[in-house]
Amino acid sequence: MLHAEPRALAGRRVLVIGAGPSGLVALKEHLACGNDAVAVERTPRIGGWFAADDDAAYDTLMLTTSNYFMAYSDAPPPKGEKMRYWTKKEYAAYLEAYAARFDLKPHIEFSTDLVRCAYAGGRWTATTRAGGAAAERSFDAVVACTGSNSDPKWPREVAAGFPGAQLHSSDYKNATRFAGQTVVVVGLGESSADLASEVAAVAARAVVWTRSPPTIAPRFPALLDKFPDEYAIITDKAEADKCAMPDFLEYMTTPRVMQAASVFLVGANKQQYFGMIKDDASASPEARLSAKLIVAATRDAYYQSDQARYITKNGRPLKLLCEGKMKLVCAKQLAVGADAVARFTDVSFADLDACDPPRAAVDVPNVDAILWCTGYTTKLAWLAEDLPRDPRAWYKHCFAPGYGASLAMVGWARGHQGGIPQMAELLARYHALLVAGERKLPADYAARAARDGAEETAYYRLSPQLRPLVDYPAFADSVAALIGCEPRAPNPLLDPARCFKYWTYPLWACWFREVGPGAAPDVLDDVLGRFPVKESVAVSRNNSPAPFGVFPMLVIGAISALLQLAPSLVGLATGKFAPGFTAGWGWAKPKHRVLHRGAAPA
């Protein structure tokens, strides 16, 4: 049900729902803008999935983006902290420090359930319950920060009649219960890559099922020639501190120079590169398998390559697959019946090779347990309003049509590169300015949401079910344009080192504190000063060339950007250079101009 657009916000009372990474930054940004904000959190602690206690998520949870990428824009890791992947406990400690630094806890009501939130007359009425006592309050704006990972999705029809144990990943803590069993793991996203790896280490047999070949990007792509144990590096600080910036995935995927070429030019380069690696006998088995999976997964989107679908930023399964400790079966259908036989039909990938033509069936007998890593649905049981549950129906994955700035869904935008908190922070900053009256939503924001959502669906056509997916660099810049905090390109003659960093360093959140509301340029200067240019041109952790060497990838990116000049000039001459998923989107404009148009009118 659509409502008339609400009146201008007055009083600026704001309710933030949740005190996880998205809720904390939303609360902080609203307080910083002078809004009267309070957060309700159903648990007695902050952090959400990353809470400090061991019950919030599985024991060995690790970040898939670096500490500098996951850090908020005005709160970088402590001085002396090298670039590394934090464990759950380390990130929980960071969130605790962030909450203390900005004095957030006095504004959080812990152990408080949100029972109902209803909208009428331009205001929200929220009913909460704490300790058995209910309370009803009125707010000008609501920020929902519960995220899309709140209600587990169970496709139970797949295992109708199966007599064995079934567990959803949301209830998984460790692999102990699967020791010595035959286990089917459903799904291979970032978290399930961890879970499947742990299960495979203790199970008698572990079989992972995905409908199509997964695109796996190791956390340390520059080390893929030797392929060390990712978990061992991350959990051993001495080993982690040996890694330099070029070893990290975000250094290859998020720099601005990598966004300057067209989608098709980048995709074609990748396809040639992966095609070469998968048949290179001198490359490591893990490198060949990673390339083989990407080629198989993207055969229907050749000129986009891995840009057309979701990426699993976790290379742990590759080693286990190559060692035979885990089996991957990619098939259209799976059925597990009362006989405990898992039957995979229409199989496109098995036994580390693509099946061409597809195999009719693969059977796995004597299955003891199924671990469902099948994601979540967005129910929002507390919300009395009938708004669409699809993030692509919301402007910037945040603002539902009919509610204007009175409702913000922060934490639903999920980056193809990077993580959720970076985008949550930008959206929280924008919403806080809207509520404070310092910015206005575009008058046609509902139409823009429909247009942008259709373009995202067409672009990410190989992952149609993952609706929160966005292109992080383009999305971040589009929201930054609405805020007015787009970072400035330095003059290459006056400051060549800063210019080099602008184009080739990861697009960390701190870039968006250089200018604009809440500017903290000293934070950006501090972070950039920790990473001298000479470190950014090392090829690998061991200073040895690698098949997935990142510095060569940046050179390729720079060359591709130069090669893009001619197509872009043709695009300008023919009117195909305009932002958006328009005619010529794949070749006539830089990748950065395809999705998530910025603040300019359509």
Cis peptide before 517 (omega within 30 of 0): no
User: What does DSSP say about strands 353-364 and 369-372: parallel, antiparallel, or unpaired?
Assistant: unpaired
DSSP letters of 535-552? HHT--STTS---TT-HHH
Model confidence pLDDT, tens digit, residues 178-228: 999 999 999 998 889 999 999 999 999 999 999 999 999 888 887 776 777
User: Comparing C-alpha atoms, which of 584, 586, 588 is closest to residue 567?
Assistant: 588
Altogether, the residues listed in the chain come to a count of: 602
- pLDDT for res 170: 86
User: Comparing C-alpha atoms, which of 300, 303, 293 is closest to residue 271?
Assistant: 303
Q: How confident is the model at residue 136 (pLDDT cuts 50, 70, 90)?
A: very high
Q: How confident is the model at residue 345 (pLDDT cuts 50, 70, 90)?
A: very high
Q: How confident is the model at residue 543 (pLDDT cuts 50, 70, 90)?
A: very low
- pLDDT for res 539: 53
- pLDDT for res 598: 65
pTM of the shown model: 0.93
DSSP letters of 119-164? EETTEEEEEEEETTEEEEEEESEEEE---S-SEE---GGGGTT--S
- Between CA 10 and CA 69 the distance in angstroms is 35
pLDDT over 90 (residue 366): yes
User: Which 3 state secondary structure label does DSSP give 194?
Assistant: helix
- pLDDT for res 10: 44
- pLDDT for res 59: 76
Specify whether the CB–CB gap between 182 and 205 falls below 8 A. Answer: yes
Strands of 318-392 (E only): list them. Answer: 327-336, 342-350, 353-364, 369-372, 376-377
- pLDDT for res 548: 43
Q: How confident is the model at residue 553 (pLDDT cuts 50, 70, 90)?
A: low
Mean pLDDT, the chain, whole residue set: 89
pLDDT over 90 (residue 8): no
Model confidence pLDDT, tens digit, residues 402-449: 999 999 999 999 999 888 999 999 999 999 999 999 999 999 999 999
- pLDDT for res 54: 58
Instruction: Tell whether domain 9-150+216-309+378-601 is in CATH 3.50.50.60.
Output: yes
Model confidence pLDDT, tens digit, residues 141-192: 999 998 766 678 888 788 888 999 999 998 898 999 999 999 999 999 888 9
Q: Please state the domain extents for the chain.
A: 9-150+216-309+378-601
- pLDDT for res 240: 87
